[in-house]
Chain A
Amino acid sequence: MKYFAKKLTITVATVLIVTLLIFLAFNIVPGDPVRMILGTEASQERVDMLREQLGLNASMPSQYINWVGGMLTGNFGTSIKYQKPVLELIGQRVGVTFTLAVMTLILTFAVAIPLGIYSARKRGKFGDKAISTVAMVAISIPGFYLGIFFIWFFGLKLKLFMPGGYVSYRTDISAFLKFLIFPSIVMAIPNIAVVLKYLRTSIIEELKREYVKTAYIKGNTAKGVLYKHVLKNAFVPIISLIGMITANALGGSIIVEQVFGIPGIGGLLIGSITSRDFPMVQGMVVFISLIIIIVNTLADVAVQLVDPRIKIT
Chain B
Amino acid sequence: MKSDAILETRNLVNFYDDSGLGLFGRSKKKQVLSDVSITIAHGEAFGIVGESGCGKSTLSKAVLGLIDYSGEIRVKGQVVSAKRTKSVRKQVQAVFQDPSGALNSKKRIGWTLLEPLRVHKLGTKDEQNDRVNQILELIGLDPSYKSRFPNELSGGQKQRICIGASLILDPELLVADEPVSALDVSAGAQILNLLDELHRKLNLSLLFISHNLNVVYYLCDRIAVMYKGQIVEQGSSDDIYRNARHPYTQALLAAVPDIDGTGGFADGNAAALREPSEHGCAYYALCPNASETCGERNPDLADVGGDGDEHLVRCYGS
Contacts and interface: CB of A to CB of B under 8 A. Distances in A.
A210 B116 contact: no
Given A209-B101, A210-B98, A308-B151, A217 B106 contact: no
A215 interface: yes
B151 A309 contact: yes
Given A217-B93, A218-B89, A308-B151, A211 B115 contact: no
Nearest to B94: A217
A308 B109 CA distance: 12
A224 B92 CA distance: 19
Nearest to A307: B106
B106 A210 contact: no
B165 A218 contact: yes
A220 B149 CA distance: 21
B29 interface: no
Interface string A213-253: 11111111000100011001100000000000000000000
B101 A210 contact: yes
Given A210-B102, A309-B149, A220 B119 contact: yes
B302 to A, nearest CB: 35
A219 B64 CA distance: 11
B178 to A, nearest CB: 12
B30 interface: no
B119 A211 contact: no
A218 B116 CA distance: 5
Contact of A217 (B89, B103, B105): B89
Given A309-B149, A309-B151, A219 B119 contact: yes
B149 to A, nearest CB: 5
Contacts of B162: 214
A313 to B, nearest CB: 13
B246 interface: no
Contact of B96 (A210, A224, A232, A309): A210
A213 B102 contact: yes
Contacts of B151: 308-309
B27 to A, nearest CB: 15
Contacts of A229: 104, 107
B151 to A, nearest CB: 5
B89 A211 contact: no
A209 B115 CA distance: 18
B245 interface: no
Report whether over half of chain A's contact residues are helix, strand or loop; otherwise say mixed: helix
Interface in B88-132: 89-90, 92-94, 96, 98, 101-108, 115-116, 119-120
Nearest to A228: B115
Chain A interface: which size bin? 20 to 34
Given A213-B66, A308-B151, A309-B149, A219 B86 contact: yes
A214 B96 contact: yes
Contacts of B92: 217
Contacts of B115: 215, 218, 220, 228
Contacts of B93: 217-218
B102 A219 contact: no
A229 B105 CA distance: 10
Nearest to B90: A219
Contacts of A211: 101-105
Contact of B106 (A214, A215, A216, A232): A232
Contacts of B103: 211, 214
Contact of A219 (B98, B101, B116): B116
Nearest to B148: A308
A233 B106 contact: yes
Nearest to A232: B106
Contacts of A215: 104, 115
Nearest to B116: A218
A233 B64 contact: no
B66 A309 contact: no
B149 A224 contact: no
B101 A218 contact: no
A312 to B, nearest CB: 13
B61 to A, nearest CB: 8
Interface in B209-254: none
Contacts of B96: 210, 213-214
Q: Which among A219, A228, A229, A309 has the greatest number of chain B C-beta atoms within 10 A? A: A219
Complex A-B, nearest 4 residue pairs according to Cβ-Cβ distance, in ascending order: A210-B101, A219-B89, A219-B119, A211-B104
9 contacts: A209-B101, A211-B103, A215-B115, A217-B92, A218-B116, A224-B119, A229-B107, A307-B106, A308-B149
Given A214-B103, A217-B89, 9 more contacts: A209-B101, A210-B98, A211-B102, A214-B94, A216-B66, A216-B89, A217-B166, A229-B104, A307-B106
